[in-house]
């Protein structure tokens, strides 16, 4: 979920001097009846099981595509992944530390669990105390996954990841594109220049991605993202020659897709124009053309 400015500033300030998870309140068991506490005791066991499944994935949850290895955000991601993976290994290898971890994070689920149990009970026409183990586990599994995503989101916010994106992509600075950090850029100016124009609105460059892996068919979510690329004047002529030569090799449909994509049409709009049932057909054609263009560049020497 997005944070308002007050929450974001407080989280970032806390992160600079503390473990940002250190302010999670303790579980309040005084507000429940003995019967209700039995539900939470079961929920805690299910949460521990979910935690065991989710922890190994934590370091890989943040996904950013098409960045070269030296790009600052990629370095931050890899640093986090290595640190988190190390901590996870320590926690999972120490029964006492794992118990403390479960106790700590389970307490932060107290209010969401309460709401989840009430909603689940209402949907089944019963009271929360009457929920079966399977129903309790289902509520816990859903909330544990969401909680894990929120923890990573909080970490990214605390580390000022959005601000780093903004600084790197500010128009009046040199650091405007990921290839500024690519050691091999001098070897592939033509290809990079084409891919700048070809893929900028079909990828997630410069966009803070969701924590789940972005599927190929969901790329249209970033259709309106700004292009952070300003090709050098010296490569414009080379690009035009490559573009025009490549266009001449395409079928009528692919030619139309190329032109519409270049003019900023979304995959959905292209599919509607060409009479395709879904935009997945356009996605496949775009991928095929990217591969064809790579071969075309190699053939041109």
Domain boundary among 167, 192, 210: 167
Band of the pLDDT at 3, cuts 50, 70, 90? Answer: low
User: Does residue 178 lie in a domain region?
Assistant: no
Encode pLDDT of 135-172 as tens digits: 888 888 888 777 777 666 666 776 676 666 666 555 44
User: Does residue 176 lie in a domain region?
Assistant: no
229 and 145 housed in the same domain: no
- Annotate 62-75 with b (16+ C-beta within 10 A) or e (fewer): bebeebeeebbbbe
Task: State how far Cα 263 lies from the chain centre.
Answer: 27
How far lies 288's CA from each of 49, 214, 251, 291, in Å?
A: 43, 19, 12, 5
Nearest to 227 by CA among 258, 202, 256: 202
CB atoms within 10 A of CB 59: 20
18 and 156 housed in the same domain: yes
291 and 200 housed in the same domain: yes
294 and 221 housed in the same domain: yes
Count of domains in the chain?
2
153 and 195 housed in the same domain: no
Name the residue with higher pLDDT: 290 or 69: 290
196 and 257 housed in the same domain: yes
Nearest to 108 by CA among 196, 22, 200: 22
151 and 254 housed in the same domain: no
Domain boundary among 120, 135, 167: 167
Band of the pLDDT at 110, cuts 50, 70, 90? Answer: confident
Encode pLDDT of 240-299 as tens digits: 777 888 888 889 988 888 888 877 778 888 888 988 888 888 888 888 888 888 788 777
Q: C-alpha dihedral over 179, 180, 181, 182, to 10 degrees?
A: 40
131 and 10 housed in the same domain: yes
CA–CA distance, 118 with 120 (Å, rounded to integer): 6
pLDDT at 146: 75
97 and 216 housed in the same domain: no
CA–CA distance, 261 with 246 (Å, rounded to integer): 15
User: Does residue 67 lie in a domain region?
Assistant: yes
User: Does residue 175 lie in a domain region?
Assistant: no
Q: Are 211 and 61 in contact (CB under 8 A)?
A: yes
User: Does residue 172 lie in a domain region?
Assistant: no
User: Does residue 92 lie in a domain region?
Assistant: yes
Domain boundary among 114, 142, 167: 167
User: Does residue 47 lie in a domain region?
Assistant: yes
25 and 157 housed in the same domain: yes
Band of the pLDDT at 237, cuts 50, 70, 90? Answer: low
- Angle between helix axes 267-274 and 280-300 (nearest 10 degrees) is 100
Place of tokens 């002529």: 237
Encode pLDDT of 206-225 as tens digits: 333 333 333 333 333 333 32
Task: State how far Cα 63 lies from the chain centre.
Answer: 5
User: Does residue 173 lie in a domain region?
Assistant: no
pLDDT at 164: 65
257 and 143 housed in the same domain: no
Least confident of 5-19, 119-133, 142-156, 207-221: 207-221
Q: Which domain holds residue 265?
A: 184-300
CA–CA distance, 219 with 193 (Å, rounded to integer): 21
217 and 282 housed in the same domain: yes
Q: Are 136 and 39 in contact (CB under 8 A)?
A: yes
CA–CA distance, 261 with 289 (Å, rounded to integer): 12
């Amino acid at each position: 979920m997005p944070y308002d400015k007050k929450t974001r500033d407080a989280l970032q300030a806390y992160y600079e001097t503390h473990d940002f998870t250190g302010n999670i309140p303790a579980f309040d068991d005084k507000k429940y009846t003995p019967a209700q506490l039995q539900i939470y005791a079961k929920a805690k066991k299910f949460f521990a099981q979910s935690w065991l499944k989710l922890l190994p994935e934590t370091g890989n949850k943040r996904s950013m595509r098409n960045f070269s290895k030296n790009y600052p955000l990629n370095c931050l991601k890899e640093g986090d992944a290595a640190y988190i993976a190390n901590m996870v290994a320590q926690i999972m290898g120490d029964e006492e530390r794992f118990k403390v971890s479960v106790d700590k994070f389970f307490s932060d689920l107290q209010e969401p669990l309460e709401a989840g149990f009430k909603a689940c009970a209402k949907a089944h026409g019963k009271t929360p105390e009457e929920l079966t183990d399977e129903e309790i586990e289902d509520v816990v599994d859903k909330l544990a996954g969401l909680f894990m995503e929120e923890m990573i989101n909080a970490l990214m916010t605390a580390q000022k990841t959005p601000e780093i994106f903004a600084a790197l992509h500010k128009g009046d600075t040199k650091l405007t594109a990921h290839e500024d950090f690519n050691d091999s850029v001098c070897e592939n100016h033509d290809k990079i220049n084409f891919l700048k124009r070809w893929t900028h609105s079909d990828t997630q460059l410069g966009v803070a991605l969701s924590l789940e892996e972005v599927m190929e068919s969901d790329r249209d979510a970033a259709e309106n993202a700004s292009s952070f690329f300003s090709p050098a004047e010296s490569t414009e002529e080379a690009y035009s020659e490559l573009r025009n030569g490549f266009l001449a090799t395409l079928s009528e449909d692919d030619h139309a897709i190329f032109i519409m994509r270049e003019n900023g049409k979304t995959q959905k709009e292209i599919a509607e124009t060409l009479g395709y049932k879904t935009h997945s057909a356009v996605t496949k054609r775009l991928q095929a053309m990217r591969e064809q263009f790579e071969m075309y560049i190699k053939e041109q020497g």
